[in-house]
Structure formats: structure tokens, C-alpha cells
């Protein structure tokens, strides 16, 4: 039952991070750093009398999620979310068996992506319902912009739908070709609902610019990792306000995924047992 304290610690810290994300659209670095420090300190204390594997697995989990978090950050994951993932890496290896801890870390990532996808879809749907007029205009604009893509996908959809009379499997592919371009245009349209103008004094490192900003000969382009410290100082010096793209407050996905994981851990613990499978 050594994991009970770690679970309690995580729920408190991740709950605070979720509240901060909704209120300020950011997760303070001290939340993730202090969770890592407390988790590893507790593991070190327990390891004195229970064996050092408990600490080593915590360091291992942190290392795995450090790599995963950095990869996800490079492809558009928020910096605060990436650091929180690293912190949970030091929490999650509950087992004393190496292979079981691999399964635990892998399962949590799957849960996080699954819960995050459902939550993001729900959040975007709520955003669309509140701003339906603006969304409708944006959707039509994006549909015209990607008209050729829709025509190509539509053509393949018709062909595969016709072939499905001979082979039902083609029907599955036809639905995929029908949904993908619409989902792409839907996502692009939702992005327009998340653009807002803020004073540069409220900008923070990692904020996503909505479009290129040209000041003299210098052009600051939007990038997945957001603005850096140099760009932030430059914008504050030369601009009073800028358009930024607000992200989905994703931290609640960590909380929900962690709760689901804890439920699975205590309800189906045998599934994590290496000997159960081998």
C-alpha cells in the first residue's frame, strides 16, 4: 500500500494544476517540480527500509516520461502539460516488477490520449455551440479554401461506397474518407474560435501566436512550441497587443486519466501482474 500516499499527493497537485489551467491557462512550474521532489523524497524515505527499487523505479518513470514529454512538447503539447507528465512519471511506477511498471506507464499514456481526445472533442463542441454563428462562417470559408481536397475525397468516397455492395469492408474505408476531410475542416474552423487579442504585457513564454507578426525587417512566425523569451521581450517592446491562439485547458485530462488508472489498478490488479500473463 506504499502507493496510497503517492496517489493522494498526485490528486491534490493535479487538481490544483487543473484549477490553475482553467483560470489562467497555465500550469505554474513549481507545481510539477514540487510534485517530482515530494514523490522522489517519499520514495527515498520508503526505500531505506523497503529496498531501493522503489526509488529507482520512480527515477525510471520520470526518465521515461521526460523523453515522452519532450517529444510531445515538440509536436505541440503545452510546456506545462509536458512537465506535469514528467512529474506523474515519478509517481506511477507502483509495482516492484520492472515489466509491470512498463505496462503501467504505457497504460497511463493510452488513457491520457483517449480521455484527452474525448474531452477535447467535447470542449470544442461546447465552444461551437456557444459561438455557432462565427463557427458556421468559418466552416464555410475553410470548406471553400479546401474545396479541391473535398472533391478528391468525395470522389473516392463514392467509388468505395459503390464497391461496398460487393465487399462490405470497402464501406468502412468509405466512411473514413468521408469523415477525415470534414474533421480536418472542423478543426480548422474551431481554431478560429480560439483566437483572441491580448496586451503584450500579459504574454507568457509558450503562448501561440495566431499569425505572423512583422516589425520592421523582423518576422515572428507562429510555432508549435510558442514564443520564446527573446521573442517575448521583443514583442513587449514593440507591440501593445497581439493575437494569440488559446489552447484547450487540457490538464483536466490528466486528472480524469489518473482517476481511471487508479480505478483499474485497484479493480483489476491481476492484469498488471507479470506472472498472470507469463
| pLDDT tens digits for range 108-126 | 999 998 998 889 888 888 8
Nearest alpha carbon to residue 209 among 176, 242, 182, 184: 242
Question: Of 129-138, 241-250, 257-266, which range is least confident?
Answer: 241-250
Nearest alpha carbon to residue 76 among 271, 247, 261, 275: 247
Q: Is 203 left (phi over 0), alpha (psi -120 to 50) or beta?
A: beta
Paired residues of 214 in beta bridges: 219
- Check pLDDT > 80 for residue 225: no
Q: Tell me how far apart the alpha carbons of residues 139 and 105 are, in angstroms, rounded to a whole number.
A: 38
| 268, 123 Cβ separation under 8 angstroms | no
What integer pLDDT is reported at residue 50 of this predicted model?
79
Q: Tell me how far apart the alpha carbons of residues 54 and 56 are, in angstroms, rounded to a whole number.
A: 6
Length of the chain: 278
What integer pLDDT is reported at residue 272 of this predicted model?
64
What integer pLDDT is reported at residue 271 of this predicted model?
64
- Give the pLDDT mean for 222-238: 82
Neighbours of 197 (CB within 10 A): 9
- Check pLDDT > 60 for residue 268: yes
The C-alpha cell of 71 is what? 517529444
What integer pLDDT is reported at residue 209 of this predicted model?
82
- Give the pLDDT mean for 53-70: 93
What integer pLDDT is reported at residue 275 of this predicted model?
58
Show the beta-strand stretches assigned E in the chain: 195-199, 208-209, 213-215, 218-220, 241-245
- φ/ψ (deg, to 5) at 195: -95, 130
Question: Of 37-41, 60-64, 226-230, which range is least confident?
Answer: 226-230
Nearest alpha carbon to residue 83 among 22, 16, 34: 34
- Give the pLDDT mean for 201-223: 81
Residue keyed to cell 526509488: 55
Q: Mind listing the pLDDT tens digit for each residue in 145-168?
A: 888 888 888 888 888 888 888 777
- Give the pLDDT mean for 37-47: 93
Residue keyed to cell 474518407: 177
Q: Tell me how far apart the alpha carbons of residues 154 and 177 are, in angstroms, rounded to a whole number.
A: 8
Helix, strand, coil percentages for the chain (3-state, nearest 5): 75, 5, 20
- Give the pLDDT mean for 222-245: 82
- Check pLDDT > 90 for residue 13: yes
Q: Residue 252 — very low, low, confident or very high, per pLDDT cuts 50/70/90? A: very high
Show the beta-strand stretches assigned E in 221-269: 241-245
C-alpha gyration radius of the chain: 23
The C-alpha cell of 79 is what? 510546456
- Check pLDDT > 60 for residue 278: no
Mean of pLDDT over the chain: 86
Q: Mind listing the pLDDT tens digit for each residue in 66-125?
A: 999 888 887 767 778 889 999 999 999 988 888 888 989 999 999 998 998 889 888 888
Amino acid at each position: 500500500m506504499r502507493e496510497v500516499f503517492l496517489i493522494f499527493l498526485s490528486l491534490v497537485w493535479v487538481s490544483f494544476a487543473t484549477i490553475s489551467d482553467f483560470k489562467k491557462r497555465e500550469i505554474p512550474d513549481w507545481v510539477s517540480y514540487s510534485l517530482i521532489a515530494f514523490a522522489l523524497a517519499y520514495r527515498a524515505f520508503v526505500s531505506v527500509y523497503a529496498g531501493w527499487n522503489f526509488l529507482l523505479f520512480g527515477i525510471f518513470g520520470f526518465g521515461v516520461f521526460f523523453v515522452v514529454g519532450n517529444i510531445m512538447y515538440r509536436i505541440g503539447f503545452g510546456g506545462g502539460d509536458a512537465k506535469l507528465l514528467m512529474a506523474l512519471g515519478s509517481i506511477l511506477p507502483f509495482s516492484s516488477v520492472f515489466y509491470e511498471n512498463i505496462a503501467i506507464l504505457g497504460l497511463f499514456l493510452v488513457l491520457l490520449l483517449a480521455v484527452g481526445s474525448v474531452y477535447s472533442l467535447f470542449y470544442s463542441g461546447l465552444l461551437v455551440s456557444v459561438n455557432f454563428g462565427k463557427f458556421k462562417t468559418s466552416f464555410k470559408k475553410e470548406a471553400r479554401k479546401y474545396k479541391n481536397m473535398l472533391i478528391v475525397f468525395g470522389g473516392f468516397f463514392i467509388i468505395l461506397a459503390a464497391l461496398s455492395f460487393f465487399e462490405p469492408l470497402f464501406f468502412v474505408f468509405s466512411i473514413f474518407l468521408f469523415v477525415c476531410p470534414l474533421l480536418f475542416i472542423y478543426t480548422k474552423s474551431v481554431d478560429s474560435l480560439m483566437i483572441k487579442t491580448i496586451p503584450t504585457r500579459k504574454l507568457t513564454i509558450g503562448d501561440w501566436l495566431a499569425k505572423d507578426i512583422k516589425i520592421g525587417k523582423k518576422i515572428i512566425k507562429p510555432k508549435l512550441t510558442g514564443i520564446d523569451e527573446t521573442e517575448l521581450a521583443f514583442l513587449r517592446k514593440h507591440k501593445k497587443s497581439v493575437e494569440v491562439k488559446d489552447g484547450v485547458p487540457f490538464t483536466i485530462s490528466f486528472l480524469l486519466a489518473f482517476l481511471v488508472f487508479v480505478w483499474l489498478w485497484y479493480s483489476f490488479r491481476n492484469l498488471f501482474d507479470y506472472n498472470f500473463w507469463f
